[in-house]
Amino acid sequence: MRVLFILILLANLWMLALGQGWIGVRPEDEGRDTRRFSQELNAGAVTLVPRKTP
């Protein structure tokens, strides 16, 4: 019973470390290019207009 508890505890710690990005890239950030956010020029100049409905 003690071995099972330790295995579950280690699995939970592993998943916490993976989710926080301590081990590598977080699963939800995989495929994102974070460098592009710093390359945007005049991001504040973009304006959104509502779509015209017929």
User: Residue-wise pLDDT tens for the chain (54 aa)?
Assistant: 999 999 999 999 999 988 887 887 666 666 666 666 666 677 778 788 888 877
pTM, 2 dp: 0.48
Query: 20: which residues sit within 8 A by CB, 6+ positions away?
Result: 26
Query: What pLDDT does residue 30 have?
Result: 65
At residue 36, what is the residue type? R
Query: What pLDDT does residue 27 have?
Result: 63
Query: What pLDDT does residue 9 have?
Result: 97
CA 16 vs CA 1, 20, 49: distances in Å: 23, 6, 41
Place of tokens 């710093």: 38
Query: Alpha-carbon distance 47 to 39, whole Å?
Result: 18
Query: What pLDDT does residue 41 have?
Result: 72
Query: What pLDDT does residue 51 have?
Result: 86
